[in-house]
Amino acid sequence: MRIEIWADVVCPWAYIGKRRLERALAAPETAGLEAEVVWRPFRIDPTAPARAVPLEEALRDPLMDGALARCAPGLTPAENRARVSAIAAEEGLGPPWGAAWRASSHDAHRLLALALDHGGAALQNEVAEQVMKAHFVEGLDISDRSRLKAVAERAGFPEGGPLLDTDAAERAVRESLLVGKARGIATSPTFVVGDRALAGAQAPETIAEFLTAGDRPRRALPEEVERLRYAESLLDRRDPLGALELLRPLLDEHGRDTGVRLLAARAYFASAQLRRARETLEELVAESPDDSYARLLLGRTLQRQGLADEAAVHLRLATTMSPGYA
């Protein structure tokens, strides 16, 4: 069984969730369960600065304080931090406990992706442990690459540190974040097995119940088809630029595929890249004059470009072929 943990390493619940998952896997009801744990990236603070700032300083920002208040309705940020600290202690984390820096986790996620590629799930899990220990127990700035290199050494992944000075895993992490969004991951941590998901650092008993509920493996699809579906999901979630990011390899390798081009045209239109949308749709209409949807979208694109007369021709043909478009 593969257990994916979609989580941010600067989220305290991710570290607590890791401990609770370990307890769930050690429980009698999961005995004999062969589990592979794989970490996937999530960002709880995508606006964190590239250069970390002391957390106490960051917490004086009213916007930051408001964001933390939304994480724990009814509690002040200070009360919530005390509550999380007590729960962490119950899971054997700390003392000391508590992040000291508001730090970007991007490079840490790159290190995790590299560990998975170079050493598999066991190495990646150890890197995740050491990264979160550095952040929450040792109070280190994990956005500092020199710190991450030391963490990688400690985790048994010395080759990972130098790779951070290249662009290794840069694209992989950015794409994984988009895939998580396309799959509806909205909480750190979220445990995923097959097509089932459990959001939050639930109690070990709840996690064990989730794991033993029956693994319904995700139906294996060709990588290109899965990428296309994720891109379409992002477009439906109003992220056309993310959709185009996932479509880029498909456009490079399968640039003449009608489905790929039509989805790209939709993303161009939704992101106001009207010239690209028009060029793509004009090609599609020339190749398939009876494609009413392509004509409809081309007509709307021309409308937005202020070309009302040209748009009218395509819109009229589209509604004639498909009256529902009227």
Please tell me the predicted confidence (pLDDT) of residue 102. 93
Distance between CA atoms of 158 and 111, rounded to whole angstroms? Answer: 11
233 plus 129 within the same structural domain? no
* 232-246 pLDDT tens trace: 999 999 999 999 999
Show which of 155, 180, 211 is a domain's final residue.
Answer: 211
* 85-96 pLDDT tens trace: 999 999 999 889
Identify which of 152, 174, 147, 173 has the alpha carbon closest to the alpha carbon of residue 163. Answer: 152
105 plus 252 within the same structural domain? no
Please tell me the predicted confidence (pLDDT) of residue 170. 97
Q: Are 14 and 5 in contact (CB under 8 A)?
A: yes
Asked if the model's pLDDT at residue 308 lies above 90, the reply is yes
Please tell me the predicted confidence (pLDDT) of residue 81. 84
216 lies in some domain = no
34 plus 127 within the same structural domain? yes
Residue type, 305: Q
Please tell me the predicted confidence (pLDDT) of residue 217. 63
Averaged pLDDT, 213-237: 86
93 plus 167 within the same structural domain? yes
Residue type, 224: E
How many percent of the chain have pLDDT more than 70? 95
Q: Could you tell me the two tokens for 194? A: 């097959």
What's the number of domains the chain is made of? 2
Q: Are 108 and 148 in contact (CB under 8 A)?
A: yes
Show which of 180, 211, 242 is a domain's final residue.
Answer: 211
Rounded CA Rg of the chain: 24
Question: CB under 8 Å to 217, separation ≥6 — which residues?
Answer: 194
Average pLDDT of every residue of the chain:
93
CATH number of the domain that residue 317 is part of: 1.25.40.10
Asked if the model's pLDDT at residue 56 lies above 90, the reply is no
Distance between CA atoms of 101 and 274, rounded to whole angstroms? Answer: 42
61 lies in some domain = yes
Looking only at the bridges linking them, the beta strands covering 36-41 and 2-7 are parallel
Please tell me the predicted confidence (pLDDT) of residue 177. 98
103 lies in some domain = yes
Please tell me the predicted confidence (pLDDT) of residue 60. 76
* pLDDT classification of 216: cutoffs 50, 70, 90: low
* pLDDT classification of 263: cutoffs 50, 70, 90: very high
Distance between CA atoms of 261 and 249, rounded to whole angstroms? Answer: 12
289 plus 310 within the same structural domain? yes
33 plus 170 within the same structural domain? yes
Identify which of 143, 135, 138, 133 has the alpha carbon closest to the alpha carbon of residue 105. Answer: 143
* 167-207 pLDDT tens trace: 999 999 999 999 999 999 999 999 999 989 999 999 999 99
218 lies in some domain = no
- Between 78 and 314, residue with greater pLDDT: 314
Question: CB under 8 Å to 249, separation ≥6 — which residues?
Answer: 227
194 plus 284 within the same structural domain? no
127 plus 197 within the same structural domain? yes
142 plus 84 within the same structural domain? yes
Distance between CA atoms of 178 and 265, rounded to whole angstroms? Answer: 19
Range in 77-81, 136-140, 314-318 the model is least confident about: 77-81
Range in 13-27, 54-68, 138-152 the model is least confident about: 54-68
Asked if the model's pLDDT at residue 40 lies above 70, the reply is yes
Asked if the model's pLDDT at residue 67 lies above 60, the reply is no
Asked if the model's pLDDT at residue 63 lies above 70, the reply is no
Averaged pLDDT, 88-105: 93
* pLDDT classification of 68: cutoffs 50, 70, 90: low
Identify which of 261, 290, 289, 257 has the alpha carbon closest to the alpha carbon of residue 277. Answer: 261
CATH number of the domain that residue 111 is part of: 3.40.30.10
SS3 12: helix
Please tell me the predicted confidence (pLDDT) of residue 221. 81
Distance between CA atoms of 8 and 15, rounded to whole angstroms? Answer: 9
20 lies in some domain = yes
Please tell me the predicted confidence (pLDDT) of residue 153. 97
159 plus 266 within the same structural domain? no
Show which of 161, 177, 211 is a domain's final residue.
Answer: 211
Please tell me the predicted confidence (pLDDT) of residue 79. 81
Distance between CA atoms of 5 and 189, rounded to whole angstroms? Answer: 6
267 lies in some domain = yes
184 plus 81 within the same structural domain? yes
Please tell me the predicted confidence (pLDDT) of residue 47. 87
Q: Which domain holds residue 252?
A: 223-325
172 lies in some domain = yes
217 lies in some domain = no
Please tell me the predicted confidence (pLDDT) of residue 69. 59
Residue type, 16: I
Q: Are 17 and 201 in contact (CB under 8 A)?
A: yes
82 plus 166 within the same structural domain? yes
Q: Are 128 and 9 in contact (CB under 8 A)?
A: yes
